[in-house]
């Protein structure tokens, strides 16, 4: 849907303004209906019409030339100074205020409108002094000032709202990009780590235990297929193609934890699970699964561990996931997208993540608050 300002940026709507100002100015200054002061000659009326038309023509340039507001004020002020009658020329001041306020910030447009207002007021004063209409000019100044203020306020409100919408759209797009990057890191990164481990196992037992090597190769085939599916699904979301054939990868939860652990165990890493997460809510289950997957990926890539303990526990309404390995605890795990992504997942649910070396190896501990506690 086109925004209000984008529709107004097409200047076709100024053509009716030009037609009305031209026709109306001709009528009130040169037509029989005009109530002319004897001192206002035909030449003055013709000059007033030209100035009124000029004030409307200037409107077409204000989008790219903000000083057009001042030029409009000069034209309208001169219109009244030569004795121009009251008419649709006042409308051009209001339109000019709307145009400049819809394109520029307050600190940019208010000096221009102030200068324009002074020029118009000066023209009204000159006309009032010359033709004894000073009282009328004062009330006209007040009325036009109110209309100009309203037009500028409305334009500013519209511009501010649409700027906020643009910022929101950019923020949403950035968050979606980060989410896709995190999903690629979690799915493909874990798959590659498992493939690397399984390929090492296959090479190690290739000659003395062909059956074990075959199992490792089958695990590599399965894992690589899953990683490719995840990659294809995310790329389809990025490019906007083949969405139906490659839907977004569904989030996995703790109900699929056994499949994840079996894949890791197949490479020779001993993984023990203590406790369960059967009663946690879906969002916590998905986040906990992602934490465990990323922690195991880091173990495979960095720790050189032989055993890992995954502990799931609940207490005082909180749910705690702890992953301990017996590897090189002093080795820094993935401090990039890995740990940062884990912290964001846990923090998004109002929880806390701790990660660091221990006397035994390395520990990742995530504490999730009770369901519904976020935002209280």
CA of residue 267 relative to chain centroid, distance? 43
- 163: number of CA atoms within 13 Å, CB side? 10
Edge-to-edge strand order for the sheet containing 307-315?
Answer: 270-274, 307-315, 318-325, 362-368, 352-357
Nearest alpha carbon to residue 267 among 204, 209, 322: 204
Task: Look at residue 362 in the predicted model and tell me its pLDDT.
Answer: 86
CA distance 271 to 294: 14
- CA separation for the pair 78, 26 (Å, rounded): 16
Calpha distance 196→200 (Å, rounded)? 6
The size of the chain, in residues, is: 376
At residue 177, what are phi and psi to the nearest 5 degrees?
-65, -45
Please state the pTM of the whole predicted model: 0.52
pLDDT of residue 146: 84
Domains of the chain (ranges, CATH numbers): 4-170 (no CATH), 253-258+267-376 (3.30.565.10)
- Write out the chain's pLDDT in tens, 376 residues: 445 545 455 567 788 888 888 888 888 888 654 444 544 555 567 888 898 889 888 888 887 888 889 898 899 989 988 888 888 898 898 898 888 888 888 888 888 888 888 888 888 888 888 876 666 667 777 878 888 888 888 888 888 888 888 888 888 777 666 666 666 666 666 666 666 666 765 665 566 667 767 777 777 777 677 667 767 766 666 666 544 444 555 567 888 888 878 777 776 778 888 888 878 888 888 888 888 888 887 777 766 678 889 999 887 778 999 988 887 654 444 455 567 777 877 888 888 888 888 877 888 888 988 754 444 4
What pLDDT is recorded for position 188?
65
CA 172 to chain centre: 5
Q: Which residue, among 341, 302, 327, 335, has the nearest Cα to 196 in the 3D structure?
A: 302
Number of other residues whose CB lies within 10 A of the CB of residue 11: 14
């Amino acid at each position: 849907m086109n925004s209000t300002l984008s529709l107004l940026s097409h200047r076709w709507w100024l053509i009716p303004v030009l037609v009305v100002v031209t026709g109306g100015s001709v009528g009130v200054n040169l037509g029989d209906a005009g109530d002319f002061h004897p001192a206002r000659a035909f030449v003055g009326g013709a000059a007033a019409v030209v100035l009124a038309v000029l004030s409307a023509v200037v409107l077409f340039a204000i989008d790219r030339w903000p000083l057009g507001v001042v030029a409009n004020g000069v034209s309208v002020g001169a219109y009244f100074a030569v004795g121009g009658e009251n008419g649709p020329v006042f409308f051009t001041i209001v339109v000019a205020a709307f145009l400049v306020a819809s394109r520029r910030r307050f600190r940019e447009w208010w000096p221009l409108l102030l200068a324009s207002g002074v020029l118009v007021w000066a023209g009204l004063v000159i006309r009032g002094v010359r033709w004894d209409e000073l009282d009328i000019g004062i009330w006209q100044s007040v009325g036009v000032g109110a209309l100009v203020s309203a037009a500028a306020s409305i334009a500013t409100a519209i511009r501010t709202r649409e700027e906020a919408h643009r910022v929101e759209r950019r923020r949403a797009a950035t968050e979606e990009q980060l989410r896709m990057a995190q999903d690629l890191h979690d799915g493909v990164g874990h798959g590659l780590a498992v493939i690397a481990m399984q390929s090492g196992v296959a090479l190690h037992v290739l000659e003395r235990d062909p059956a074990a090597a075959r199992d490792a190769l089958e695990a590599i085939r399965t894992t690589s297929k899953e990683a490719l599916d995840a990659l294809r699904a995310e790329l389809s979301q990025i490019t906007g193609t083949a969405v139906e054939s490659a839907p977004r990868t569904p989030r996995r939860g703790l109900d699929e934890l056994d499949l994840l652990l079996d894949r890791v165990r197949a490479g020779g890493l001993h993984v023990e699970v203590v406790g369960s997460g059967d009663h946690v809510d879906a969002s916590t289950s998905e986040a906990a699964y992602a934490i465990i997957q990323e922690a195991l990926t880091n173990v495979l890539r960095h720790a050189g561990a032989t055993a890992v303990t995954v502990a799931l526990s609940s207490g005082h309404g909180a749910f705690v996931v702890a992953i301990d390995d017996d590897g090189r605890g002093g080795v820094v795990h993935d401090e990039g997208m890995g740990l940062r992504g884990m912290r964001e997942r846990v923090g998004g649910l109002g929880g806390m993540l701790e990660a660091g070396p221990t006397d035994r190896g390395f520990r990742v501990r995530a504490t999730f608050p009770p369901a519904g506690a976020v935002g209280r």
